[in-house]
Amino acid sequence: MEPQNNPNWFAHSPIARLNNENALDDIVADKLNDPTSVMIPLWRGDPLIANGAAGFLSLAARSEFPAGAPIVMLGMRNDAAVFAIDASGAAQTAETAPLADLGEYMPIRQAASIITKDDLAVIGHGRWLFEWHRTHQFCAKCGAETEMKNGGAKRACAACETEHFPRTDPVAIVLAIHEGACLLGRGPHFPPGFLSALAGFIEAAETPEEAARRELFEEAGVRLTDIRYQFSQPWPFPSSMMMGFIADTESRDLTLDETEIVEARWIDKEDIQALLAGEERDFFMPPKFTIARQLLERWADA
């Protein structure tokens, strides 16, 4: 699918990535000293927002951040290198955010409503990498400490020479439909009234379509037919790749796994269209930057 046909906000990265298979440390070092390079500060994964926009700064501002604050190179944008810096510091225990006087470090879900899709994708990329580096500081093969390489694109173990690359956790998310209605539900971590498409992680040696079929049956007792892939979206909470499907069902019979789904309802298309038009109902949908919302909008417009 061409990028312009993918409506998902985290899927619109303007970054030209570098070839992470090559040795890039010298290139990264050069770009860290290039006056045209920019960086976006993230405080515990959330971006600096200044004057209603993403707060990209010159790399000269690095001196305002804690010594050893991790910095990663995301790629090139309009011939300038783009970095992200972890404003939380090397240990993410600092209580005072550097350069907060320039704006505010806004929760990324809240920031999504005011910044551009391009900037949101860049910020999501940086958040993804910092979380991966934070949780993968030791070699999975031998247990020795690893070191960031290639501007954050990988980690390397000096003890056994194993290279480690950022992981992606694949997820199948499904808008199940039956005769003009869609199935929406919520897990125990969502507030009452918040309904979304059902989703689950893809297991080892399983296709996305198989995962879609299995997850909907396990969570809601629904049997899917005619599973149709729509689009995908990176999801940096912390490191998923959401693959979206619309699928028909054999019936509207539900048997909920209440440890996973505490509420599920069949919603008529007319009610979804009314919500999208600004009318009120007794439930609300996911925000526009989610793949669940984009699945709903695509189905409602069909």
Q: Which among 82, 128, 92 has a CA at the least distance from the CA of 242?
A: 128
The answer on pLDDT for 222 being more than 80 is yes
Record the tokens describing residue 69, joined without a space: 């604050």
3-state secondary structure of 79: coil
Question: If you count them, how many residues does the chain have?
Answer: 302
List Cα–Cα distances, 295 to 87, 162, 183, 230, 285, in angstroms. Answer: 35, 40, 12, 8, 11
This prediction has a pTM of: 0.93
The answer on pLDDT for 151 being more than 80 is yes
What confidence tens digit (pLDDT) does each residue in 212-221 have?
A: 999 999 999 9
What is the structure's pLDDT at 249? Answer: 98
With cut-offs at 50, 70 and 90, classify the pLDDT of residue 93. low
Mean per-residue pLDDT, 108-130: 97
What is the structure's pLDDT at 34? Answer: 97
Better pLDDT: 251 or 68? 251
What confidence tens digit (pLDDT) does each residue in 20-51 have?
A: 667 788 999 999 999 999 999 999 999 999 99
The answer on pLDDT for 186 being more than 60 is yes
Q: Give me the residues paired with residue 186 across strands.
A: 263
What is the structure's pLDDT at 94? Answer: 53
The answer on pLDDT for 1 being more than 60 is no
Give the pairing of strands 263-268 and 240-249.
unpaired
8 Å CB contact between 187 and 180 = no
What is the structure's pLDDT at 3? Answer: 40
Between helix 269-276 and helix 291-301 the angle, nearest 10°, is 110
What is the structure's pLDDT at 2? Answer: 44
What is the structure's pLDDT at 90? Answer: 56
8 Å CB contact between 163 and 150 = no
What confidence tens digit (pLDDT) does each residue in 154-171 have?
A: 999 999 999 999 999 999
What confidence tens digit (pLDDT) does each residue in 226-246 have?
A: 999 999 999 999 999 999 999
Give the pairing of strands 80-86 and 38-43.
parallel
With cut-offs at 50, 70 and 90, classify the pLDDT of residue 150. very high
What is the structure's pLDDT at 97? Answer: 85
Phi and psi torsions of 41, nearest 5°: -80, 140
Q: Which among 275, 282, 255, 261 has a CA at the least distance from the CA of 197?
A: 261
Q: Give me the residues paired with residue 155 across strands.
A: 148, 164
3-state secondary structure of 214: helix
Side-chain-side CA neighbours of 287 within 13 Å: the count stands at: 10
With cut-offs at 50, 70 and 90, classify the pLDDT of residue 147. very high
Helix (H) or strand (E) holding 76: strand 71-77
The domains found in the chain, sorted by start residue, are: 3-164 (3.90.79.20), 169-301 (3.90.79.10)
3-state secondary structure of 222: coil
Mean pLDDT of the chain: 94
